A = this chain, B = another copy of it.
Amino acid sequence: MQQLTIAGTVFSSRLFTGTGKFGSSQQMEEAILASGSGLVTVALKRVDTKAPGQHNMLAHLRHPHIRLLPNTSGVRTASEAVFAAQLAREAMETNWIKLEIHPDPRYLLPDPVETLQATAELVRLGFVVLPYVHADPVLCKRLEEAGAAAVMPLGAPIGSNRGLRTQDFLEIIIAQSKVPVVVDAGIGAPSHAALAMEMGADAVLVNTAIAVAGQPVQMAAAFRDAVAAGRAAFEAGLPGQSRGAHASSPLLAFLDE
C-alpha cells in the first residue's frame, strides 16, 4: 500500500482517531492501539497538566508510533485559534495543530473565513496546520495555497454518524488537492470509512463512532480493517458502475444442445 506522508511524516495507517467520549482513559488507550492509528487528536483542555485526571489521560497516549495532534476545539475566531495553538504547542511540545474554529454551538460547523485567516497566521508562526473545514473545494484550494499541510473536509456534522453527505464535493476536493485530504466528521461506520478511501481520500478521522460503540476496542479494529480495505480497493482499481446488468455466469448452452 502506498505510504501517506503529511509534512514529511510518514503514516503507516490511514485511520486517524480522537480521544473524546470514551468511557475511560484505559478504554481509550486500548481502542486507539487496536485502531492502529498513528495520529490522535487531543482537545487542549484535556491536556491541562494541572488537572490530575488529565495528566493521567496523556500518559495513556504515550506510544512511540503515535503522534499527538492537539486541536483548537471551542474557539470561535482566528485570534482565539492562534492563541489556543500557541498554548497547545507549549503544553504538548508539538507544532502540529488541528485547526477547528466553530462559532456555532449547535452543529459545530467550521467558519471558512476565520479558518483561512488563522491558517495563514499559524503557518507564518511555524505550525504544521491541518484545518477542519466544510467540504468546500474553493476553500480547500485556498487553504492549500496558504500553506496547510493537509485539509480536513467534513462528511457530515460532527458526531452525527451520517456518513459522506458531502460526497459530490469531496470528489472534487480529492481531484484537485495537492495536499493530503483527510475526511473528518460524520463517519459513523466502517463502510463510510471504506467509501472515503475508495474515492481516493488520503485518510479519515474517526472518533465518535468508535468511542460510543457497544464495544469500542472491537469497533476500532473494524475501522482499521475497513480503511485498509478501502485503500487497497482504490489501489487495485475499482470497476465502474453501470445501469444494466452484466452476467458473471455464462448462460447455459446445454439446455438447447
CA distance A172 to B218 in the complex (A): 26
Task: Give the chain B neighbours of A33 by CB distance below 8 A.
Answer: none
Interface size class of A (residues with CB under 8 A): 35 or more
User: Chain A 163-197, CB within 8 Å of chain B: the 1/0 string?
Assistant: 10111110110000000000000001111101100
**Cα distance, A234 to B224, chains bound together (Å):** 15
- B100 touching A249 by the CB < 8 A rule? yes
Q: A112-B139, A226-B225, A248-B21 are in contact. Are A188 and B238 (CB under 8 A)?
A: yes
Copies in the complex: 4
19 contacts between A and B (CB under 8 A): A18-B248, A46-B250, A72-B252, A73-B249, A74-B251, A74-B252, A100-B249, A104-B137, A112-B112, A112-B113, A134-B169, A157-B245, A160-B242, A189-B194, A189-B198, A191-B195, A215-B237, A218-B236, A226-B233
Bound-state CA distance A103–B163 (Å) is: 29
In the complex, per-residue mask of A140-165: 1 if CB is within 8 Å of any chain B CB, else 0: 01100000000000001111111101
CA distance A254 to B194 in the complex (A): 37
Roughly how many angstroms separate A43 CA and B252 CA in the complex, as a whole number? 8
Interface residues of A (CB under 8 A from B): 18, 20-21, 41, 43-46, 48, 71-75, 80, 83-84, 87, 100, 102-113, 116, 134, 136-139, 141-142, 156-163, 165-169, 171-172, 188-192, 194-195, 198, 207-209, 211-216, 218-219, 221-226, 228-230, 232-233, 235-255
